[in-house]
Structure 1
């Protein structure tokens, strides 16, 4: 009985004849040296990948780190400035008629320096000047004593008794510019009323 016998596999068709996947083909080297080179190559690749991952992770953490809160803005000047009445000065003999002077203390409780740009008062018949003259600067460490001189320009436009007099002061700091009215208290009101009566005592009003 004739027929074909089992087909013999050709060269290279066995699974063990194929080279191992991903293994670098290093011709001319013994097997153990090939394995060692492959292991060293694999370690180098893993180290490089680990370093890249650490660098990338560090950059992400830096980019997403919590931000420092912004510094609060400085206070408004009217919130930190105080003007305190000290006393009325004796009128000098050579002083112009119908003038009188008094001292106040300008102080800053905290924050950046404050500039006094203008000092005024509500009565139409009075004019004010100050020494030092505005504008002048005051800081939290150095309160300033200011002498204010009042000149009566028209007795008919000033009150016979100043019940609640105040000063209109324009203030400026790094935050804002404000016009603020400072009431100097009952002692200042008494002294101002007396000074106005003396200044206008011989006036027909």
Structure 2
């Protein structure tokens, strides 16, 4: 348990009740008996002991969130992975004269809100496949905007890439004022089909 709440009102805080007010007025000025004085003197200690025992039995602790702590948390910028989205656009035709085992895709990177996000690194998980991007990393994207990115891949070892890429993803390192995060973006079944087809074509005449 991370805490209990809301925090109880401080000592002496009561809700307004006319019946309580009348009872208080009728007893005001009367001398308090010795047992009542003893109870008043030790009430706080008893309550503290009981509260501590209850919390220890439940394995929790009591804390109060200060107003300025809550304001600071609400004003902190979001983590970059919370506001960045990468979606798959489709395959691209590579220029003539490009290495025969090269293919390209286009993706769209968008930033929903918060401070600008810098993409510092972009790669993919397969050992036998190299990746470059245009624009090259690092590049910065402002909030409320989207940037088209051309992903060019080249097969370097057909024996280490899958024949069918079941659930491929892009590994991206993102940075903003809040944090630096490594995040994996799954681009969906259409990207998986296009990547699998590109790998099959690239390695169809491979002699390895």
Q: Same fold (TM over 0.5)?
A: yes
Shift of 1:178: 0.4
> Among 120, 145, 148, which residue is 1:145 paired with?
148
1:12 maps to what in 2? none
Shift of 1:117: 0.2
Structure 1 runs, 4 residues or longer, greater than 6 Å off: none
1:191 maps to what in 2? 194
Q: Is the 8 A contact 2:112 2:145 kept in 1?
A: no
Corresponding position: 1:76 with 2:97: no
1:12-50 Cα offsets, whole Å, 9 max, x none, are xxxxxxxxxxxxxxxxxxxxxxxxxxxxxxxxxxxxxxx
Shift of 1:190: 0.4
Shift of 1:96: 1.5
1:86 maps to what in 2? 89
Cα distance in structure 1, aligned partners of 2:87 and 2:184: 13
1:55-75 Cα offsets, whole Å, 9 max, x none, are xxxxxxxxxxx9794352111
Shift of 1:204: 3.7
Cα distance in structure 2, aligned partners of 1:69 and 1:107: 28
Cα distance in structure 1, aligned partners of 2:112 and 2:144: 9
Q: Which has the larger radius of gyration?
A: 1
Corresponding position: 1:178 with 2:181: yes
Q: Where in structure 2 are the equivalents of 1:40-55 lying within 5 Å?
A: none
Q: Where in structure 2 are the equivalents of 1:1-205 lying within 5 Å?
A: 69-70=71-72, 72-205=75-208
1:156-190 Cα offsets, whole Å, 9 max, x none, are 11000000000000000000000000000000000
Shift of 1:94: 1.6
Shift of 1:107: 0.3
Cα distance in structure 1, aligned partners of 2:138 and 2:94: 25
Shift of 1:90: 1.6
C-alpha RMSD of the superposition? 1.6
TM-score (norm 1): 0.65
Structure 2 unaligned blocks of 5 or more:
1-66
Query: SS of 1:143's equivalent?
Result: strand
Q: Is the 8 A contact 2:87 2:107 kept in 1?
A: yes
Structure 1 unaligned blocks of 5 or more:
1-65
